[in-house]
């Protein structure tokens, strides 16, 4: 699955489930792979089966169902799923799972431009956990909300880790702050240093965005094409059982922008791939722009 071979992952996970129908992680791997192959309905059904196994399965399934809604650009549908899941996690004393859901809730609220509610959600998340799978997405939401100093505080905390990935994520946050400030060339330098620590999927994606902002379109195309090819890594970005595949669809939009910059006819293909997933998303401003750019070709 992480390697992007979703067909093999589906076959293997079905085999595991046949041997042990109560093995939670097999359902997660199956559902994410089904979603990645374009079968959101099958993925949702797999998560519903998982939710019937036990309380832990229901918790992970709620995160997965919200991931599908966010993947399709339907944050309003993700919110009640997450809120119910958070309450259930807290009632069974599982703060780590609740914190992960609260970060996703903050993202959904932010997509709906409910900044105050998004900030309330991420404050609660950090009160429950400061693990990298919580701190990093919370910091990104703070950057989007203009709270750069708070994001940089979290970056400093992550940089103190002995593990390479949190150190790299700390640099990614510093780079994203520079992007937010309109300094793509400074961001590119920071991202290059981060890649020497750990070659992360987010690092490739943000490098593509930075090169695009700097109008270095060939480099943007290279980095975003790499991010597209390595999409299996977005299935569970932090290598836990929490699905994060909703991060992937925007790659196609930005890849279209990069290809448009180098006058490649493949730009239209990228925009179509993006609209195939997000075309019915009323809350996503990139959808209208992708349609406009596609119509102009």
Q: Mark out the alpha helices in the chain (DSSP H runs).
A: 6-19, 24-36, 40-51, 55-71, 75-91, 95-111, 115-128, 132-144, 148-159, 164-180, 184-197, 201-213, 217-229, 250-261, 266-278, 285-295
Assign 284 a pLDDT band (cuts: 50, 70, 90). confident
Assign 4 a pLDDT band (cuts: 50, 70, 90). confident
Residues 82 and 108: beta-carbon distance below 8 Å? yes
Segment 1-29 mean pLDDT: 91
| pLDDT tens sequence across 187-227 | 999 999 999 999 999 999 999 999 999 999 999 999 999 99
pLDDT at 75: 95
Judge whether residue 150 has pLDDT over 90. yes
| pLDDT tens sequence across 73-88 | 999 999 999 999 999 9
Which of 221, 222, 226 has the alpha carbon at shortest distance from 267?
221
Which of 82, 87, 73, 129 has the alpha carbon at shortest distance from 106?
82
Which of 250, 260, 256 has the alpha carbon at shortest distance from 285?
250
Mean pLDDT of the chain: 95
- Number of Cβ within 10 Å of residue 56's Cβ equals 15
Judge whether residue 263 has pLDDT over 70. yes
With tokens 């990228």, the residue in question is 270
CATH 3.90.1150.10 fits 130-232, yes or no: no
Q: Taking each helix axis from N to C terminus, what angle separates 55-71 and 24-36, rounded to the nearest 10 degrees?
A: 10
Return d(Cα 115, Cα 195) in angstroms, integer: 31
pLDDT at 296: 63
pLDDT at 281: 78
Judge whether residue 297 has pLDDT over 70. no
Segment 33-56 mean pLDDT: 96
Segments making up each domain of the chain, as ranges: 130-232, 249-297
Return d(Cα 235, Cα 223) in angstroms, integer: 19
pLDDT at 110: 95
Return d(Cα 154, Cα 136) in angstroms, integer: 8
Which of 144, 139, 179 has the alpha carbon at shortest distance from 155?
139
Q: What percent of the chain has pLDDT over 90?
A: 93
| pLDDT tens sequence across 99-144 | 999 999 999 999 999 999 999 999 999 999 999 999 999 999 999 9
pLDDT at 280: 82
Segment 170-181 mean pLDDT: 98
Q: What is the DSSP string of 133-171?
A: HHHHHHHHHHHHTT-HHHHHHHHHHHHT-SSHHHHHHHH
Tokens coding 55: 């309380």
Return d(Cα 293, Cα 154) in angstroms, integer: 37
């Amino acid at each position: 699955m992480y390697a992007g071979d979703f067909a093999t992952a589906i076959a293997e996970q079905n085999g595991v489930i046949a041997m042990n129908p109560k093995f939670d992680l097999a359902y997660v791997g199956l559902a994410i792979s089904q979603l990645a192959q374009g079968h959101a309905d099958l993925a949702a059904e797999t998560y519903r089966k998982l939710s019937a196994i036990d309380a832990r399965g229901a918790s992970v399934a709620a995160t997965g169902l919200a991931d599908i809604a966010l993947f399709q650009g339907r944050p309003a549908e993700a919110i009640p799923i997450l809120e119910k899941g958070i309450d259930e996690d807290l009632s069974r004393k599982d703060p780590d799972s609740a914190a992960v859901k609260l970060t996703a809730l903050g993202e959904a609220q932010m997509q709906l431009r409910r900044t105050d509610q998004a900030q309330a959600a991420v404050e609660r998340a950090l009160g429950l956990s400061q693990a990298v799978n919580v701190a990093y997405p919370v910091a990104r939401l703070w950057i989007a909300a203009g709270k750069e100093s708070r994001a940089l505080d979290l970056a400093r905390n992550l940089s103190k880790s002995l593990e390479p990935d949190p150190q790299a994520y700390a640099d990614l946050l510093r780079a994203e702050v520079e992007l937010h400030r309109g300094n793509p060339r400074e961001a590119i330098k920071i991202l290059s240093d981060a890649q020497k620590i750990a070659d992360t999927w987010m690092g490739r994606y943000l490098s593509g965005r930075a090169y695009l902002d700097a109008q270095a379109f060939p480099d943007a195309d290279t980095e975003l094409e790499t991010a597209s090819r390595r999409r299996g890594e977005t299935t569970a970005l932090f290598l836990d059982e929490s699905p994060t595949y909703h991060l992937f669809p925007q790659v196609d939009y930005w890849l279209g922008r990069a290809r448009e910059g180098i006058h490649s006819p493949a730009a239209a293909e990228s925009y179509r791939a993006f609209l195939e997933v997000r075309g019915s998303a009323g809350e996503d401003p990139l959808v209208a722009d992708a349609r406009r750019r596609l119509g102009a070709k």
